[in-house]
Amino acid sequence: MKPIYPFYGLTILSAFVLTCFINPVLAQEKKPNILLITIDDLNDWVGYLGGHPKVKTPNMDRLAAKGVAFTNAHVQSPVCNPSRTSFLTGLRPTTTGIYGLDLWFRDMEPYKDLVTLPQYFERNGYVTMSTGKTFHDAFPPKEDRRDGPEFTKWGFHGGFLPRPEKPLVENTGHPLIDWGVYPEHDNQQDDWKVVDWAVEQLKNPPKDKPFFLAVGIRHPHVPLFASQKWFNLYPEDDYLLPLMRGDDRDDIPPFAWYLHWNLPEPRLAWLQMHHEWKPKVRAYLASVSFADMLVGRLLDALEEQGLADNTIVTLLSDHGYHLGTKDITGKNTLWHESTRVPFIFSGPGVAEKGKLSDAPVELLDIFPTLNDLAGLPAKEGLDGHSLVPILKDVNHKRLLPAICTHGPDNNAIMTEQWRFIQYADGSRELYNRKEDKYEWQNLARLDGYKSIMDELAAYLPKSAPPAPGSKTRVIEMIDGEPYWEGEKIPKDAKIPMIFMQYKR
């Protein structure tokens, strides 16, 4: 019989603790890396979401097969800047008052020193890196787009390049509103170069700390350019157009038009008149598959460098995009085409593999979820909630709804069964997403649904006023009258049903 040494285990433990104190590499081994992939303007046209029957996204589907993919995930705003500000700060637009494109949250006194998601990870021992579009492209200001203060290390920022000397589609009303086969090679695209930089960081990760790497892919944001091979995935003779009804807006409140009153994207009627509806849809699908290939490059690099087992991968889109449904193209609505996005978690701490969850979740939930998965202290004051209970068991019931906001007092409330919309003038929409996935029948106009709407209305957030100086893409009610971008919409203004497009 071997002798028992009562202090043997304690001695080994003490030695391990001392070793970790001396060698921080060992102390950090159990901290997972974070790879945050943000995609711009990607709606539910992703394989696992079933938004388009022809779409080809093998790499996003491959990521979904490794973890938990949400089928009922929603943004907090259908506009780039407020959406990204929201999930990176952990605060709703109704909390900050940031509803439009033209305000950097640090210019607001209450938030100038706010600790964002990447900063919180940096303060807890991570090297944080950003490449491409993480915040809205205009922010932070160029003078602050250097190593620190928002990230430890800034990489290639890129943009919407290259672009042809002349537009491929003329008279769209805005230089970025363009689509077609361009350029000849994938590696000419800025998005390719963004991923190049990210892959280099994965090949040479920090030696003594875990990393938080944010990679912002701009496709399928306009211009919808991709090389010919991506268009070849979607033959012209295939039926590519989304399902829609010509009378879809007949039961929708007039106020719904104000949310996208005067935008760069042409209306559906313009596309039809110029025979550009199918070409634009095809270009969007090609751009989605191009973006998916870039996601694949990142996943391949993780595996090749032996980082996959210790890296949490989160993939999302900042909002969706209409391709003709509800008579429009673009975002800026509270319908599912604008608010519903891909949202995937895989890696350490995600117990479920290849599972789908239809729980109503929000991009706001990223901050507390990544904190939870990484074992960081909980951060006080966040508006979102950790999704770890669902990542451990997809049958876990989420009792809270998801909420999307576009301007003060315009909100959509999403549950597993319902989408409830209430506009600033009090008008409403209600859709049963279990029976009407295309949201064709507005039940708010029918008898028998008031109690359901009133129950959902209890979740409507109290809206902060628009942040001072905020204007672009902001719709608000002032003294009972609607204002778009600071200008009153006259009572006799004709609803832009057909040809209205942005004029500069």
pLDDT, position 26: 39
289-299 pLDDT, tens digit each: 999 999 999 99
Residue 439's contacts (CB-CB under 8 Å, 6 or more residues apart) are 335, 336, 419, 431, 433
Q: Is the pTM of this model over 0.85?
A: yes
230-285 pLDDT, tens digit each: 999 999 989 999 999 989 999 999 999 999 998 888 899 999 999 999 999 999 99
Give the Å distances, CA to CA, from 144 to 106, 147, 150, 153, 154: 11, 8, 8, 12, 10
Q: E strands along 304-414, which residues?
A: 311-317, 322-323, 329-330, 343-346, 355-357, 361-362, 402-405, 411-414
- Measured in whole angstroms, the distance separating CA 238 from the mean position of its chain's CA atoms is 29
What six digits make up the tokens of 132? 């491409």
**What mean pLDDT is predicted for residues 76-91?**
98
DSSP string, 129-161: EEEESSS-TT-S-GGG-SSSSSSSEE-----S-
Type of residue found at 406: H
Residue 426's contacts (CB-CB under 8 Å, 6 or more residues apart) are none
Is it the case that residue 14 has pLDDT exceeding 90? no
DSSP, collapsed to helix, strand or coil, labels residue 368 as helix
Q: How high does pLDDT run on average in the chain?
A: 91
Q: Which H or E run contains 22?
A: helix 8-22
Of 85-89, 290-294, 439-443, 496-500, least confident by mean pLDDT is 496-500
Q: Would you place residue 19 in the very low, low, confident or very high pLDDT band (cuts 50, 70, 90)? A: very low
Is it the case that residue 502 has pLDDT exceeding 70? no
161-214 pLDDT, tens digit each: 999 999 999 988 889 999 999 999 999 999 999 999 999 999 999 999 999 999
pLDDT, position 262: 86
CA distance 263 to 84: 20
- CB crowding 436-475: b at 16 or more within 10 Å, else e: eebbebbbbeeeebeebbeebeeebbebbebbeebbebbb
Q: Which H or E run contains 16?
A: helix 8-22
Residue positions annotated with a catalytic role: 80, 136
Higher pLDDT, 492 or 459: 459
| Ordered alpha helix ranges (H), 375-474 | 388-392, 450-457
DSSP, collapsed to helix, strand or coil, labels residue 257 as helix
Type of residue found at 333: T
Scan for tokens 């539910």, then name that residue.
44
pLDDT, position 29: 52
Omega prior to 58 cis, within 30 of 0: no
Residue 206's contacts (CB-CB under 8 Å, 6 or more residues apart) are 127
DSSP string, 83-94: HHHHHHHT--HH
Neighbours of 326 (CB within 10 A): 20
Is it the case that residue 15 has pLDDT exceeding 60? no
DSSP, collapsed to helix, strand or coil, labels residue 127 as strand
Higher pLDDT, 147 or 360: 360
Q: Would you place residue 493 in the very low, low, confident or very high pLDDT band (cuts 50, 70, 90)? A: confident
Residue 449's contacts (CB-CB under 8 Å, 6 or more residues apart) are 430, 443
HEC profile of 285-304: HHHHHHHHHHHHHHHHHHHH
Beta strands across the sheet bearing 418-422:
402-405, 411-414, 418-422, 428-432
- Topology of the domain covering 30-249+256-398: Alkaline Phosphatase, subunit A (3.40.720)
Neighbours of 428 (CB within 10 A): 20
Is it the case that residue 469 has pLDDT exceeding 50? yes
CA geometry: angle 408, 410, 411, nearest 5 deg: 115
CA geometry: angle 465, 470, 472, nearest 5 deg: 120
Is it the case that residue 27 has pLDDT exceeding 70? no
Whose CA is closest to 462, among 409, 422, 399, 398? 409
DSSP, collapsed to helix, strand or coil, labels residue 283 as helix
121-139 pLDDT, tens digit each: 999 999 999 999 999 998 9
Q: Would you place residue 495 in the very low, low, confident or very high pLDDT band (cuts 50, 70, 90)? A: low
pLDDT, position 139: 92
Residue 223's contacts (CB-CB under 8 Å, 6 or more residues apart) are 160, 163, 176, 177, 178, 179
- Which of 9-13, 26-30, 138-142, 213-217 is the most confident on average? 213-217
Whose CA is closest to 117, among 150, 96, 88, 80? 88
Is it the case that residue 497 has pLDDT exceeding 70? no
Q: Above pLDDT 70, what percent of the chain?
A: 92
Is it the case that residue 216 has pLDDT exceeding 60? yes
Higher pLDDT, 400 or 172: 400
pLDDT, position 69: 98
Q: Would you place residue 144 in the very low, low, confident or very high pLDDT band (cuts 50, 70, 90)? A: confident
Tell me the CA end-to-end span of the chain in Å, nearest whole number: 90
29-72 pLDDT, tens digit each: 579 999 999 999 999 999 999 999 999 999 999 999 999 999 99
Burial class (CB in 10 A: 0-12, 13-18, 19+), 167: middle
> What does the CA dihedral 473, 476, 482, 486 come to, rounded to 10 degrees?
-60
